[in-house]
């Protein structure tokens, strides 16, 4: 089996006396959509924050592209293709939709690490921002100031920005939160169309979306992974049903 793109080993994080991430080990394989689910307060966002570099773990390590990035700051991880969508994306309202996507593309080119190097990747970095807008269905809005977009179009622009960055791994923390049914379905469709191009870690409470999209699911309860497997395996796992899913999936 191919080496994982991301491997987390023994990750542990305490907030005061509370252990929020408890010896978490998991890997994300090339092209895989790996969902992380679990109850409110299970530590999902804290886990994502440690992967992106927003938070430092107290113990354990994070391997990305075969390199230990545990000590690398968030901006360096982003430059190297560890992208986080929806929550840290900053749309600049005064700049056009195309300019927003182009900025993301340029930011990614600052990566000084060569561990993903090679000619093919060089080409990928040059993917025009415009192509990313086309894939997100925003090409017609390229010249419009981003501040004039509707809520749904802003979500599409956030996806286009992530695409323009040519992520090596995309972290998604509740991308459907706060959207209506139609908008949520649009996001599911967009994620489905992106599947396989790069691996994704998806944190989401919408079990319909998770079970429709995920290749594998890890279940986090009180900071610990209690199960990792295919949707079918996780759905039929007695411990998972008892701790979280109940009759939801």
Which residues make up the interface to ligand ATP (CB under 6 A)?
15, 20, 38, 40-46
Distance CA(190)–CA(61), nearest Å, equals 31
Burial call 35-62: b when 16+ CB within 10 Å, e when fewer: bbbbeeebbbbbbbbbbbbbbebeebeb
Nearer to ligand ATP, 38 or 65 (CB): 38
Tokens encoding 53: 């570099």
Token match 């305490």: residue? Answer: 14
52 binds, among Mg ion, ligand ATP, none (CB under 5 to 8 A by kind): none
Q: Which of 153, 204 has the CB closer to ligand ATP?
A: 204
What lies within 8 Å, CB to CB, of 173 at 6+ separation is: 44, 45, 48, 84, 86, 87, 203
CB of 88 to ligand ATP, least distance (A): 15
Residue with smaller CB distance to ligand ATP, 24 or 157? 24
CB of 153 to ligand ATP, least distance (A): 25
Pick the stretch among 40-48, 53-61, 90-98, 160-168 that binds Mg ion (CB under 5 A): 40-48
Check residue 45 for interaction with Mg ion (CB under 5 A): yes
Instruction: Report the nearest approach of ligand ATP to the CB of residue 200 (Å).
Output: 17
What residues line the site for Mg ion (CB under 5 A)? Answer: 44-45
């Amino acid at each position: 089996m191919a080496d994982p793109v991301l491997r987390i080993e023994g990750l542990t994080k305490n907030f005061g006396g509370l252990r929020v991430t408890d010896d978490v080990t998991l890997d994300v394989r090339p092209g895989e959509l790996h969902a992380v689910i679990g109850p409110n307060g299970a530590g999902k966002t804290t886990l994502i924050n440690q992967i992106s570099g927003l938070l430092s773990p107290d113990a354990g390590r994070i391997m990305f592209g075969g390199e230990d990035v545990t000590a690398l700051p968030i901006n360096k991880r982003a430059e190297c293709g560890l992208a986080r969508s929806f929550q840290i994306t900053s749309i600049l309202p005064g700049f056009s939709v195309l300019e927003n996507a182009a900025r993301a593309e340029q930011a990614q080119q600052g990566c000084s690490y060569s561990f993903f190097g090679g000619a093919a990747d060089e080409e990928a970095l040059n993917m025009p921002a415009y192509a990313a807008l086309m894939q997100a269905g925003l090409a017609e809005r390229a010249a419009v100031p981003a501040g004039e977009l509707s809520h749904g179009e802003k979500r599409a622009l956030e996806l286009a920005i992530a695409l323009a960055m040519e992520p090596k791994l995309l972290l998604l923390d509740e991308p459907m939160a706060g959207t209506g049914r139609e908008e949520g379905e649009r996001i599911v469709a967009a994620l489905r169309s992106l599947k396989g191009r790069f691996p994704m870690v998806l944190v989401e409470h919408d079990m319909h979306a998770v079970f429709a999209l995920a290749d594998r699911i890890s279940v986090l309860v009180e900071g610990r992974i209690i199960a990792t497997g295919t949707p079918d395996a996780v759905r039929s796992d007695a411990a998972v049903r008892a701790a979280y899913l109940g009759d939801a999936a």
